[in-house]
Chains A and B, each alone.
Chain A
Amino acid sequence: MGSKTLVIAEHDNNNIAADTLKTLHAASQIGGDVAVLVVGNNVTAIAESLSKVKGVTQVFRVDTKQFKHPTAEDVAPIIVELSEAFTHFLAPATTFGKNLMPRVAALLDVGQLSDVIEIESPDTVIRPIYAGNALARVKSNDSKLVMTIRGSAFDSASTNSQENASVEALESQASQQPLASFIDSQQTLSERPDLSSAKVVISGGRGLGSKENFALVERLADKLGGAIGASRAAVDAGFVSNDLQVGQTGKIVAPELYIAIGISGAIQHMAGMKDSKVIVAINSDPDAAIFEVADYGLVGDLFEIMPELIDKVP
Chain B
Amino acid sequence: MKVLVAIKRVIDPYAKIRVKSDGTGVETSNMKMSMNPFCEIAVEEAIRLKEAGVAEEVIVVSVGDTSVQETLRGALALGADRAIHIEAIEELEPLSVAKVLKQILEREEPKLVLLGKQSIDTDNNQVAQMLSAITDRPQGAFASKLVASDTHVTVTREVDGGLETNRLEMPAIISTDLRLNEPRYASLPNIMKAKKKPMDLIKLEDLDVDVISHQTILEVTPPVARSAGVMVTTVDELVDKLKNNANVL
List the interface of chain A (C-beta within 8 A of B): 69, 71-73, 76, 94-96, 98-107, 109-115, 124, 128-142, 178-188, 196, 200, 224, 232, 241-243, 248-249, 251, 256-257, 267-268, 274, 277-280, 291, 293-299, 305, 308-309, 312-314
Partner of B220, one of A136, A256, A277, A295: A136
B168 / chain A contacts, CB cutoff of 8 Å: 179-180
- Closest chain-A Cβ to B242's Cβ sits at a distance in Å of 7
Q: Establish whether residues B154 and A183, one from each chain, have CB atoms under 8 Å apart when the complex forms.
A: yes
Known A-B contacts A130-B123, A179-B138, A274-B226; the reply to A137 vs B217 at CB < 8 A is yes
Q: Establish whether residues A185 and B163, one from each chain, have CB atoms under 8 Å apart when the complex forms.
A: yes
Closest to A299 in B: B231
A105 / chain B contacts, CB cutoff of 8 Å: 95, 126, 130, 133
Interface residue B141 (Cβ < 8 Å from any Cβ of A):
yes
Q: Establish whether residues A180 and B139, one from each chain, have CB atoms under 8 Å apart when the complex forms.
A: yes
Q: Establish whether residues B223 and A110, one from each chain, have CB atoms under 8 Å apart when the complex forms.
A: no
Q: Establish whether residues B132 and A103, one from each chain, have CB atoms under 8 Å apart when the complex forms.
A: yes
B179 / chain A contacts, CB cutoff of 8 Å: 242
| Listed A/B pairs (22) with beta-carbon separation below 8 Å | A71-B166, A72-B139, A95-B158, A99-B159, A103-B132, A105-B95, A106-B95, A111-B93, A112-B95, A114-B126, A138-B217, A139-B218, A185-B165, A242-B158, A251-B160, A267-B14, A278-B246, A291-B229, A291-B231, A294-B229, A296-B231, A298-B233
- Closest chain-B Cβ to A281's Cβ sits at a distance in Å of 8
B167 / chain A contacts, CB cutoff of 8 Å: 180-181, 183
Q: Establish whether residues A128 and B223, one from each chain, have CB atoms under 8 Å apart when the complex forms.
A: yes
Bound-state CA distance A241–B158 (Å) is 11
Known A-B contacts A98-B125, A251-B160; the reply to A73 vs B229 at CB < 8 A is no
Closest to B221 in A: A135
Nearest first, the 5 closest Cβ-Cβ pairs linking A and B are A111-B214, A102-B129, A106-B133, A179-B138, A106-B130
Q: Establish whether residues B14 and A183, one from each chain, have CB atoms under 8 Å apart when the complex forms.
A: no
Summed over the interface, the residue pairs from A and B with CB atoms below 8 Å come to a total of 251
- Closest chain-B Cβ to A203's Cβ sits at a distance in Å of 15
Q: Establish whether residues B125 and A141, one from each chain, have CB atoms under 8 Å apart when the complex forms.
A: no
Bound-state CA distance A107–B154 (Å) is 25
- Closest chain-A Cβ to B213's Cβ sits at a distance in Å of 6
Q: Establish whether residues B125 and A184, one from each chain, have CB atoms under 8 Å apart when the complex forms.
A: no
Q: Establish whether residues A248 and B216, one from each chain, have CB atoms under 8 Å apart when the complex forms.
A: no
Contact with A along B146-177 (1 / 0, CB 8 A): 00000000100111111111111100100001
Partner of B242, one of A103, A111, A257, A299: A257
Contact with A along B21-56 (1 / 0, CB 8 A): 000001000000000001000000000000000000
- Closest chain-B Cβ to A304's Cβ sits at a distance in Å of 9
Partner of B249, one of A109, A295, A313: A313
A124 / chain B contacts, CB cutoff of 8 Å: 218
Known A-B contacts A98-B141, A183-B165, A243-B158; the reply to A296 vs B26 at CB < 8 A is no
